[in-house]
Amino acid sequence: MALHNAPLGKSSRYPDTYAPELLFPVPRSDNRRRIGHEDGRWPWFGSDLWQAWEISWLRPNGVPAVAWAVLEVPAASPNIIESKSLKLYLNSLNQEVFSSEEQVVGRIEGDLSSASGAAVGCRLFSVDEDGRAIGKPAGYELIDDEDVTIESYQGCPEALIAGDEQVTEKLCSHLLKSNCPVTGQPDWGSVLITYTGGKIERQGLLRYVVGFRQQQDFHEHCVETIFTDIMTRCQPTQLTVSAHYTRRGGLDINPWRSTEAHPPAMPRLVRQ
């Protein structure tokens, strides 16, 4: 589907009946072609984890139920799901009657799987459960206070430099910002990088992260670009990149890409 047909940036009426047709898929292929993955293969495992904080439906007795959800869209899916369409779709469940949480999960998984082109997972959580948000995850080194002067806010993969010293490190920056390719609105996030290989020069990495500040792209594409640029420029033997974006419209997204098949820890950060 063409992006000009997406609901982003347009006035939208919230549906009062179930409307799976609102889900708007966006092909991943254009971005992957742009970063050099044209043959349908890519050097990562991963998924896009959505945290949805405004889930509601009706019980058989007419009393509303509320929950929050984690939605997992595989990185191998041919499509991402545009965020506003996901919000509108989830709100279309508000007046639907479901006999159980399992039925809600099944409906959401089926609809999102159809839109993305791959099996999507859904987990519901009680709003009564305690949730802990953290800042910098334990064991990560913050690079945001490096002594560096930055004068350009454009993409600069050439700033990524790795030395000869072999290390395993966990690095964090809260300065990731890009802009929505449709509305131009800012997307704020924190990026976590775990790698084994030549030691990455901190000032260059900070310049690189800040270089996204005026770029327009979807969250998922930004993470794939970061992963590809680090692999190309620094050639680590192992690499995991995750981005934890701030909430908008009751949703936040947390894409991760890795050379390792097992998912990394994906904590909820304080800005989420």
Q: Which of 10-14, 42-46, 163-167, 176-180 has the lowest mean pLDDT?
A: 10-14
Mean pLDDT of 39-68: 94
In angstroms, the first-to-last Cα distance of the chain is 30
pLDDT band at 37, cuts 50/70/90?
A: confident
For 141-258, CATH number?
A: 3.30.1130.10
Candidate list 172, 180, 222, 234, residue with the active-site label:
180
Does the annotation count 180 as an active-site position?
Answer: yes
Candidate list 48, 111, 187, 229, residue with the active-site label:
187
Higher pLDDT, 132 or 111: 111
How is residue 216 annotated by DSSP? B
Mean pLDDT of 49-74: 97
Domain spans in the chain, listed from the N-terminal domain onward: 3-125, 141-258
Task: Assess whether pLDDT exceeds 80 at residue 135.
Answer: yes
Asked if residue 85 lies in contact with residue 22, where contact means CB atoms within 8 angstroms, the answer is yes
Does the annotation count 187 as an active-site position?
Answer: yes
Task: Assess whether pLDDT exceeds 80 at residue 7.
Answer: no
pLDDT band at 10, cuts 50/70/90?
A: low
CA-closest candidate to residue 228, choices 259, 188, 189, 260? 259
Spatial separation of the C-alpha atoms in residues 219 and 8, rounded to whole Å: 14
Is the full-model pTM beyond 0.85?
Answer: yes
Dihedral sign, Cα of residue 223, residue 226, residue 232, residue 238: negative
List residues bridging with 188 in a β-sheet.
Answer: 177
Under DSSP, is residue 220 helix (H, G, I), strand (E, B) or coil? helix
CATH topology of domain 3-125: GTP Cyclohydrolase I, domain 2 (3.30.1130)
